[in-house]
Structure 1
């Protein structure tokens, strides 16, 4: 669906809304007169964002991978703001490093948040979208275009999220629900993820070997505005920046290009640098790791008490 529609007076759900792009989207959509539901892992941070919005809003602290929790979140949002017309699956995490030495718990968590969390979000809010004949936007990445070395979990999760959204789009188009995929590149947010990229050898080298235009970092406000324009048009594909549309034509050649570049440069880079695991990136990633550690500790305590 590509027609424009009026956003004012409708409700929107944004996951991963505590900071970065999620916060930018919430503020822009509130400026369009939408009622905004902010979902994320940090109640206090979400509430701090909510008070800056000049619109009716609600905050729900929830893990997007928690299916019962997301069903309760959908019920609460619908009760407070009405059935959503727009749902943006923005929550995501990233990590990098050689696959063979990766922490499989963190690797699995990246896939769970970026892919499974998006599916859980869609399932929870689909009844409302069917009522409003609304629009679901899956935030993906240029990582869906072509898999990069040292980013196996992130690339797998974003490619999966793209395929998931395209599949669901085909199922829902005749029922009046639009589904779009947003392809993002380097985005400068307040989460320090880009700074983390430059701090870690594996990601700094990955970015440094990209063509100059592909190394550019875009401000979060600009990226959010491109996505909001896609929401207004109910676009099947949203590109941030717009020139990424041209990269779609080159997708069949990306795997070959990555293989050739890796074969030529990786041996030297691995000889000259120590490629260590990055852990989850950005402030959101650090909070996610603390929550994982807390959950692990709580499970350990429960097992000890059970004995």
Structure 2
């Protein structure tokens, strides 16, 4: 376990949720926080909570130029980057056949390509510091819940990226971790649960119906960063699921054979009533901020 005092930790998606909470906890342990996200007012509040040495940069992980500028300014300010938590992400519920295609693709753009861009731009600094890279995947990479196809695909890709990078970078002194967490009490998850169709789908599935406290996840993430862990599981039973993941699609299919047809009909009705864009809009305040950014507002 490495002491965090003085280490420069860059976190994307730091305006809210797990990113903001982990940043505050790392600051308590003496880390120097570089916060990257979309909502400047929220980022400023988090930075103020993280102490006078914390900084914030408004940047969109889907915009390589703004992200590059942020990373270069962070490196110039602190002189180094010791750890990166690639955390920025959104969720847009909807069945693939009826949801807004732009919303489906936006999830891939943020959750997968945004992580890739973060890795690409910060890796030169991590090679210098022999640092640590933590990619935030999800239980969705293992248990593919109906109604979250784009999220499942993106998080599975993040897991594969982390597993590959771990082997590619170990001899260069950079350690790579992949975090898998189930549903945690954040603005994004509350937004999914408030959806008139897909909130009921999510909470009705065994294992993923429970929502864990944010503080529980924060402790696991901070411990993982301190130890430069190869995996972070929130909760620990996710690790056991990886061993039997080959059986999980069959279990999900069996468990969904009655609930999905009803939800599918309800989703089509919701699309007819509100439109595909509203029905599959990214959830929570962070999702709204990303949607406004994507629309050019």
Query: Against the structure 1 CA distance between its residues 82 and 271, is the aligned structure 2 distance closer, same or farther, given a 3 Å change threshold?
Result: same
1:234-249 equivalent positions in 2, closer than 5 A: 234-249=228-243
Deviation at 1:26, TM superposition (A): 0.7
Report the equivalent of 2:80.
83
* Pairing partner for 1:199 from 194, 201, 222: 194
Which of 289, 292, 295 is the aligned partner of 1:290? Answer: 292
Q: Which consecutive unaligned segments of at least 5 residues does structure 2 have? A: 272-278
1:169-180 matched pairs, under 5 angstroms: 169-180=166-177
Q: Deviations over 1:43-98 (max 9, x none)?
A: 22211211111351111111112222222211100111221111000100001112
Matched, 1:109 2:102: no
CA distance in 2, matches of 1:160, 1:110: 12
* Counterpart contact for 1:11–1:81, Cα < 8 Å: yes
Matched, 1:257 2:255: no
Is residue 34–residue 55 contact of structure 1 (8 Å, CA) maintained in 2?
no
1 CA distance for matches of 2:103 and 2:11? 24
Residues 1:18 and 2:9 are matched in the alignment: no
Aligned twin of 2:35: 38
What is the aligned partner in structure 2 of residue 301 from structure 1? Answer: none
Q: 1:220 aligns with which of 214, 218, 227?
A: 214
How far is the alpha carbon of 1:254 from its aligned partner?
0.7
Partner SS for 2:49: coil
Residues 105-149 of structure 1: per-residue CA shift (max 9 Å, x gap): 111111010000001001111011001100000011110003222
Contact 1:58 1:80 in 2 (8 A): no
The DSSP-based 3-state class of the residue aligned with 1:101 is: coil
Change (3 A) 1:280 1:272: closer
**2:256, 2:6 → 1: CA distance?**
50
What TM-score results when the alignment is normalised by the length of structure 1?
0.89
Q: Please give the alpha-carbon distance, in whole angstroms, between the structure 1 residues aligned to 2:55 and 2:209.
A: 37
142-151 or 124-133, which deviates more:
142-151
5+ long unaligned stretches in structure 1: 296-307
SS in 2 for 1:51: helix
1:209 aligned partner: 204
- 1:10 Cα deviation after fit: 0.8
Deviation at 1:207, TM superposition (A): 2.1
Once the two structures are overlaid, the 10-residue window that deviates more, 29-38 or 66-75, is 66-75
* Deviation larger for 5-14 or 193-202: 193-202
Residue in structure 2 matched with residue 279 of structure 1 by the alignment: 281
Please tell me the root mean square deviation across aligned C-alpha atoms, in Å. 1.7
Change (3 A) 1:271 1:19: closer
Q: Secondary structure at the match of 1:291?
A: helix
Shift of 1:202: 3.4
Aligned length: 289
Which residue of structure 2 lines up, in the alignment, with residue 56 of structure 1? Answer: 53
CA distance in 2, matches of 1:169, 1:30: 26
Alpha-carbon distance, 1:262 to partner:
2.5
